[in-house]
Amino acid sequence: MSIKKCRQEFEKIFKKYPDKTQALLPCLYVAQEKCGCLTEEIVSFLAQRLDLPKVEVYSVITFYSMFSFEKKGKFVIRICMSLPCYLRGSREILEAVVEEALCIKPNQSTEAKKFTIEPVSCLGLCDIAPAMMINKKIYGNLTPQKAREIIRRYKQEKDK
Amino acid sequence: MLRLTIDGIKVEASEGTIILEVARQVHIKIPVLCYLEGVQAIGSCRVCLVEVEGVKTLVPACVTPVTNGMKVYTNTRRVRDARRTVVELLLSDHNGECQTCERNEDCELQALARDLGIRDIEYLGEQSLKKEDTSTAALVRDTSKCILCRRCVSVCTEIQGVGAIFPQNRGFKTIIGPAFSLDLENVICVQCGQCAAVCPVSAIKEKDDTEKVWSALDNPDKHVIVQTAPAIRAAFGECFGYPPGTLVTGKMTSALRRLGFDAVFDTEFTADLTIMEEGTELLNRLKKALVDKEDISLPQFTSCCPAWIKFVEHFYPEFLPNISTCKSPQQMFGAVAKTYYAGKIGRRPEDIFVVSIMPCTAKKFEAERPEMTDSGAQDVDAVLTTRELGRLIKQAGIEFRSLHGEEMDTPFGIATGAADIFANTGGVMEAGLRTAYEIVTGEQLPFKNLHVKSIAGLDGIKEASITFNKTFSEWEFLKGVTLKVAVAHGLGNARKILERVKGGDNTYHCIEIMACPGGCIGGGGQPRMTTDEMRRARISAIYKEDEGKKLRKSHENPALKQLYGQFLGQPLGEKSHHLLHTQYMRRDFNF
């Protein structure tokens, strides 16, 4: 049960934000972390507790690329496609990562759910464009070569 | 008072006033698209950009409050260029099938492009996906026309308190619609059509049933009759350039005859019938509660509005026993037309084709409810909105403005003033009180001009009370009883009053709800764009129509007396029960 896992954290967040709607994003963040993905059940629960239309909760989830209704891989690779990164070659980075890592298309996961690749909007790392994040770790000033090496290191982690 | 200038014109304004409003006062038109007075001010479309001296960027006039000494310029090259760019960008992602779009010449985006002098769209490239949703009986969504202004979202969430649609995803993938890409049919949408009423383009509209009606009119074997709702007569003229609140009942009747309808009737006739049935039902409930001490559901809610019924079925099923079992006037009409009237003219129910002209989209849904077949056929065959009738008349080449007024046909063309006011918020209750008070006391409702002032007008929730000081002997139990009623319009207000009753306020006996702001005169099928000013104009026209009638109480309707005498027997009698009453269902939808 997805709600059970998050219940305690949710309650803490509800208390922290006097304006109920402000609690939505932190709650979704917790749910995504704990459960690996969001569910209809979570949408319904949060809508009811925060007094929001369910469709509005759904709307927020679909707006942000870090939220998802599908289970993601162990490593989520987010490649920034916004303007500064794009101009510094993020397309090539995306291609290299896709090819090197996994032979899958963007927004898909590898079969063993090890990797998910997501082209995303600005990560706030314009100073080290082009940039990507793997889970919470940041990688900047990438070249296709550098990106390949990073992915290779993550791939080897499986074998250890 | 703040002093400022707009394009060099000195203006005074109070704190908090937005630039747009002040500009309107001095007759400067600032174009808008996402802004809609009383519904939404979010500054998202940027069509209303203006220049303010000393401010680096252009500011949106719809959300920027004026300040003292402000100098606003609405017509500089920079402003004109910016507005043009904004609209060009919108057009670059808009399905511009203007000639074949039913909003042709009734489209805010088209008008903007014209007024801003756009001749070329430079931004060609990626476009949003086209998704059509024709799942419901009432409404059609077309995402390729949508400009993402969010007016529909605001009206659905804030005004109606329904929350069926919201923006989803981002960038070119953004669409406005129900969660999980569901169709409208499979979510909590009540089909009131307020979204269609505020849409500036053709992204949400009524399902077009004009072809259904043409086919029936072309079929010589069908006896095609039409009923016209109270609310359309005060707004229909707007389709032909008349100002809001112009009464066009007579012209409309002759136009309908020219279209080829075999008989032109009035939904008002069955509005009078509704009062007899619903009033009797209320008095019965009161009797059961006060005399028999039965556990009967009070307050009684009105049942004329199909969007309101669907709202309760979705959100407050515990109140279903409180809703009057009376069908709406539209459905009562269909039921008596295909039985009593069919018998009179010697036709079978299935040979009669009943068309309704309604200010409403939800009426299309109501006509298709599976239980609405008590005559032995579908009681109402096709429902057109006010706007669709306008299109029908234009297609037929009828010059509406040159028509002479005509009278409707008998017997269902005869109605009282009480039925007129079904069109606006507070009207059904007032009509009910006019009859109920007189049935109980034998005296006329003791208000000036028969109007219950405290429940008229555009306040969201209104109340009135009246005491029966004397009664006929059969209503003895009501002697000294003070009847307390409430009226709400806009489903957001309905929700408030339901919560009040749910919270234990059991002082009301009867509550009138109309889903649309202002009541049916502001319905989802009325000519666009309905503002509060137009609502007031339409309402006062309706009261004028009522006051101009000799008979102003439903129980005085002579054709109705005949209907009861020859066919129905008495209110709530066996035949009434079968033809004019219905039941509701719980709808458990997740989204």
Long-range pairs, A19-22, Cβ under 8 A, ≥24: A20/A49, A20/A50, A20/A51, A20/A52, A21/A50, A21/A52
- For B129, residues 6+ apart whose C-beta sits below 8 A from its C-beta are B143, B144, B172, B173, B175
Interface contact flag, B590 A54, Cβ < 8 Å: yes
Select which of B154, B324, B328, B375 is catalytic.
Answer: B324
Q: Which amino acid is at A160?
A: K
| Count of other CB atoms within 10 angstroms of residue B480 | 10
pLDDT (tens place) for every residue of chain A, 160 residues total: 578 889 899 999 999 998 888 999 999 999 998 888 999 999 999 999 999 999 999 999 999 988 999 888 888 899 999 999 999 999 999 999 888 876 566 666 666 678 888 899 899 999 999 999 998 899 999 999 999 999 988 887 754 4
Instruction: Give the residue-averaged pLDDT of B520-524.
Output: 97
What is the DSSP track for chain A? -HHHHHHHHHHHHHHH-SSGGGGHHHHHHHHHHHHSS--HHHHHHHHHHHT--HHHHHHHHHHSTT--SS---SEEEEEE-SHHHHHTTHHHHHHHHIIIIIS--TT-B-TTS-EEEEEES--S-GGG-S-EEETTEEE-S--HHHHHHHHHHHHHHHH-
* A92 close contact with B: CB closer than 8 A: no
**What mean pLDDT is predicted for residues B202-206?**
97
Instruction: Map out the domains of chain A as residue ranges.
Output: 3-63, 75-156
CA angle B114-B120-B125, nearest 5°? 120
For residue B278, indicate whether it is catalytic: yes
First CA to last CA across chain A, in angstroms?
A: 32
Distance CA B521, CA B14 (A): 32
CB B589 within 8 A of CB A55: no
* φ/ψ (deg, to 5) at A156: -65, -30
Task: List the single residue in A with minimal CA-CA distance to B178.
Answer: A55
Residue type present at position B512: E
Q: Taking CB atoms and an 8 Å limit, are B164 and A55 in contact across chains?
A: yes
- Kindly report the nearest CA distance between residue A131 and chain B, in angstroms: 21
Among A54, A61, A67, A83, the residue to mutate for chain B (most B Cβ within 10 A): A54
Within a 10 A sphere around the Cβ of B132, how many other Cβ atoms? 11
Q: Name the pairing type of β-strands B132-133 and B139-142.
A: antiparallel
Q: What is the pLDDT of residues B415-431, one digit of tens each?
A: 999 999 999 999 999 99
Among candidate residues A51, A62, A42, the one with its CA nearest the CA of residue A22: A51
pLDDT tens per residue across span B102-115: 999 999 999 999 99
pLDDT at A33: 87
The CATH number of the domain covering residues in B274-326+417-580: 3.40.950.10
Structural tokens at position B125: 């490239």
Record the tokens describing residue B498, joined without a space.
């339901």
Chain A nearest C-alpha distance from B157 (Å)? 8
Nearest by CB to A55, which of B163, B169, B170?
B163
Structure tokens given for B104: 């042709």
pLDDT of residue A36: 85
Q: Which CATH class is domain B210-269+330-402?
A: alpha beta
Q: d(Cα B407, Cα B128) in Å, to the nearest integer?
A: 50
| Residues forming beta bridges with residue B10, ordered by sequence position | B5
Annotated catalytic residue within B144, B149, B520, B545: B520
Contact (Cβ atoms closer than 8 angstroms) between residue B484 and residue B508: yes
- B168 CB near a chain A CB, below 8 Å? yes
Does residue B371 have an active-site annotation? yes
Adjacent-strand bridge partners of A80? A120
Q: How far is B359 from chain A (nearest CA, A)?
A: 27
Active site residue B154: no
The predicted structure's pLDDT at residue A160: 47
Q: Is the pLDDT of residue B30 over 80?
A: yes
How far, in Å, are B22, B323, B343, B433 from residue B488 at the CA level? 32, 14, 39, 16
What is the mean pLDDT of the segment spanning B574-585? Answer: 96
Q: How far B168 CA lies from chain A's nearest CA (Å)?
A: 5
Where does the pLDDT of residue B564 fall: very low under 50, low under 70, confident under 90, or very high at 90 and above?
very high
Contact with chain A for residue B178, Cβ under 8 A? yes
pLDDT band at residue B441, thresholds of 50, 70 and 90? very high
User: For chain B, how big is the Rg over CA atoms in Å?
Assistant: 25
| pLDDT of B236 higher than 60 | yes
User: What topology does CATH give the domain B128-205?
Assistant: Alpha-Beta Plaits (3.30.70)
pLDDT value of position A1: 55
Q: What is the ipTM of this complex?
A: 0.90
Coil, helix or strand at residue B9: strand
User: For A54, which of B168, B169, B591 is closest by C-beta distance?
Assistant: B591
End-to-end CA distance of chain B: 48
Paired with B167 in beta bridges are B176
B290 near B284, Cβ under 8 Å?
Answer: no
Separation between Cα atoms, residue B516 and residue B494, nearest integer Å: 10
Structure token pair of residue B371: 């239980």
Residue B310, token pair as written in the block: 């669907």
Please report the number of interchain residue pairs, chain A to chain B, with beta-carbon separation below 8 angstroms: 42
Mean residue pLDDT of chain B comes to: 96
H helix intervals, B349-426: 362-367, 386-395, 417-420
Rounded Cα gap, residues B112 and B31, in angstroms: 7
B172 touching A, CB under 8 A? no
- Domain boundaries of chain B, sorted by first residue: 2-91, 128-205, 210-269+330-402, 274-326+417-580
How much is the pLDDT for A3? 83
CATH entry 2.102.10.10 includes domain A75-156 = no
What's the angle, vertex CA A77, arms to CA A72 and CA A83, rounded to 5? Answer: 125
* A62 vs B375: CA distance, rounded Å: 48
Beta-strand ranges (E) seen in B55-136 are: 59-60, 71-73, 132-133
Of A44, A54, A62, the CB nearest to B169: A62
- Residue B166 to chain A, least CA–CA distance (Å): 6
Q: Is A111 on the interface with B (CB under 8 A)?
A: no
Of A66-80, B189-203, B544-558, the poorest mean pLDDT is in A66-80
Q: Among B366, B430, B512, B556, which one carries the catalytic annotation? A: B366
d(CA B11, CA B70): 10
Distance CA B205, CA B140 (A): 5
Q: What topology is assigned to B2-91 in CATH?
A: Ubiquitin-like (UB roll) (3.10.20)
Is B281 known to be catalytic? yes
Structure confidence at residue B342 (pLDDT): 97
Evaluate if residue B237 carries a pLDDT over 90.
yes
Residue B503 CB neighbour total at 10 angstroms:
8
Helix (H, G, I), strand (E, B), or coil: what is residue B88? helix
